[in-house]
A and B are shown apart, each in its own frame.
Chain A
């Protein structure tokens, strides 16, 4: 600590709020509180103590999907729950999200989606017409990706105990031979690419949920990334790691990767693509687009020699909208994401505690 601080200095700040006794919304916000919950509650219970005869899924190295080996074949397996409000928003709905979210997670592990399950928790009083629209949207999204929803479950809860519809989807995908896309492969020298501009989904949701009408607010980027990943992998381009950018945005994804791969990450502020309406809405609300949710964007860690090829493949694919190289993996400051600002100095891009809170003025 600094010399000015006397050694016997006793801090008596206004009352700490230490470990929370109850679940807070921020535990689901994609930030540090959620990480602490997953590591302290779920991983500590589930990741240890299984019988050794079971195949060990890759639960120790958190990834968008677990890789399970079965008779010499590798399967990607993932699950995701969807609780979006409102159910329909510009550019998508909860049904589309439920399909794309899970297939995107499979794709980030190099998995070709095979099938999905769908579990519905419906609130008493939900209109059948609303449910039909959501289900048809799921059907259309699954068709587009080329997979089927093969099993499911339905529960109904009392009015007031749900938010219309909650959906859980789980998915299985096949990981082709020779494909290994995982945080463990990220090495210093890798370039960091994003498949498009950031923050559209979060701002689209906020513009309808909070009744804020931003001029020219863009629709959500909600889309499947399966075709894009297949196109890149099919071309034989070497990709070290992929991550789809959802809750917590680019910042959360990069922090996780930096931590698990034990590398540092350096970003170039000027290179990060954000379209003007999103940037404007963020300025107004005091939000940082790096932390705003996306539903159709990925970040890729690519070895230097493959950067041009991957960028070209992205540019020619409709699911990538203005892809860009935004930074570099380095061996310095492991676990920390730094951004070069316009004056050339670095600042830390930290994980947030929970969700971003709009500021006062």
Chain B
């Protein structure tokens, strides 16, 4: 397949792994931000091809995993209302809230629908004037433009029965939180290529300078990730801390300007809670006041729904890279994709799910 096969070439992958082995003279810890990268690393066994002294730490870049439990509770409350058609991306349906997940709501008669684009939800609202259509707008900077577009469209159509439950999060503040943590071990980052396709790379420069960490904007195929690691290791070895772009076939330094304009028009930056991590300042997006009528939180008066996560949840430590999934005593025993204790076990991008699917047996052998 074009644009896929050439980035999965076994010979070139081995040569890159060899180059990394030759370049790394000592141990380094590098965090890949995005859950998609984590899955590729585990799926293709990239970490096993690296020298043992080189550690990959899995980052918080899984939108499903970091959505706070009270937002899931709000989604569950909305989806349970008879007048609501609740639209979500598929991943979110199995994330446990305080009491139940959206799949359970569906089996109890709630109208929960999987959509592939927020525009599908807008169209549902047009087709069902007698129902309230709510779209679950979650994700990083990657999904924000399309969600902003859906709100703009609904405003243009003056739809009275469309709203969004927003829990958008931003990558750079989360990187800052990781670096500020007293437990931080991260020395370099592979930034998320698709996020940077939207945002560009400029907002990463102050991070690299302030914390003196190299940041390599990296793609998602095995060769992308290996090349990103090589670029990051080179910087670390040479004592540089720059923002470099491995994923130039998709990422332009200035990002996608029309998409960014759309996002800024509809959303504003707000503090946001991250599941398992807590509140991070300026780390989320919420609707601007002028789009208030499209805010499900306001329309359905959901502000009073709150839920606290237990402070000791290891999901937070996994999401910040302090622990690996199989360091958790419940991993694979009390916590599995059927009975997830935490969101990272649910999402197809979650670190725990990646370890469970691809490494469970190995985890057991290690015990």
Contacts and interface: CB of A to CB of B under 8 A. Distances in A.
A303 B272 CA distance: 59
Interface stretch (A6-14, A97-105, A320-328): A6-14
Interface stretch (A25-33, A175-183, A310-318): A25-33
A267 to B, nearest CB: 13
Contacts of B43: 341, 347
Contacts of B313: 11-14
A359 B366 CA distance: 31
Interface of A: 1-2, 4-5, 9-18, 20, 22-26, 32-33, 36, 210-212, 270, 276, 279-280, 283, 285-286, 333, 336, 341-348, 350, 352-353, 356-361
B49 A343 contact: yes
Contact of A276 (B1, B10, B343): B1
B329 A360 contact: no
Contacts of B348: 286, 356-357, 359
Interface in B158-184: none
B44 A343 contact: yes
A20 B339 CA distance: 9
Given A18-B339, A347-B42, A359-B89, A26 B103 contact: yes
Given A341-B43, A360-B64, A13 B341 contact: yes
A47 B334 CA distance: 28
B93 A17 contact: no
Contacts of A276: 1
B205 interface: no
A330 to B, nearest CB: 13
Contact of B314 (A11, A348, A350): A11
How large, as a class, is the contact surface on chain B? Answer: 35 or more
Contact of B335 (A4, A13, A333): A13
A343 B338 contact: no
Contact of A4 (B100, B101, B323, B347): B323
DSSP class of A's interface residues: helix, strand, loop or mixed? loop
A13 B94 CA distance: 15
A18 to B, nearest CB: 6
B44 A360 contact: no
Q: Which of A17, A279, A286, A347 has the most CB atoms of chain B within a 10 A radius of its CB?
A: A17
Interface in B39-57: 42-46, 48-49
B327 A1 contact: yes
Contacts of A336: 361
A291 to B, nearest CB: 11
B310 interface: yes
B342 A350 contact: no
B228 to A, nearest CB: 15
A13 B314 contact: yes
B107 A24 contact: yes
Interface string B307-322: 0011111110000000
Nearest to B16: A343
A198 B275 CA distance: 37
Q: Which of A25, A286, A360 has the most CB atoms of chain B within a 10 A radius of its CB?
A: A360
Contacts of B4: 279, 283
Given A4-B323, A343-B14, A358 B114 contact: yes
12 contacts: A14-B343, A16-B339, A16-B341, A17-B340, A279-B1, A343-B14, A343-B222, A344-B49, A348-B361, A359-B348, A361-B140, A361-B142
Interface of B: 1, 4, 8-10, 13-14, 17, 36, 42-46, 48-49, 63-64, 69, 89-94, 96-101, 103-104, 106-108, 114, 116, 120, 138-140, 142-143, 194, 222, 275-276, 309-315, 323-324, 326-330, 334-343, 347-349, 356-361, 366-367
Nearest to B344: A13
B94 A357 contact: yes
Given A17-B340, A360-B91, A361-B139, 12 more contacts: A5-B328, A13-B341, A14-B341, A16-B96, A32-B338, A341-B43, A343-B44, A343-B46, A343-B48, A347-B42, A358-B89, A358-B114
Contact of A22 (B1, B9, B104, B342): B104
B315 A345 contact: no
Nearest to B348: A359
B198 to A, nearest CB: 10
B1 A25 contact: no
Nearest to B323: A4
Nearest to B100: A17
B288 to A, nearest CB: 23
B139 A350 contact: no
A356 B347 CA distance: 10
Nearest to A335: B361
Contacts of A270: 10
A26 B114 CA distance: 14
Nearest to A32: B338
A175 B75 CA distance: 53
B101 A17 contact: yes
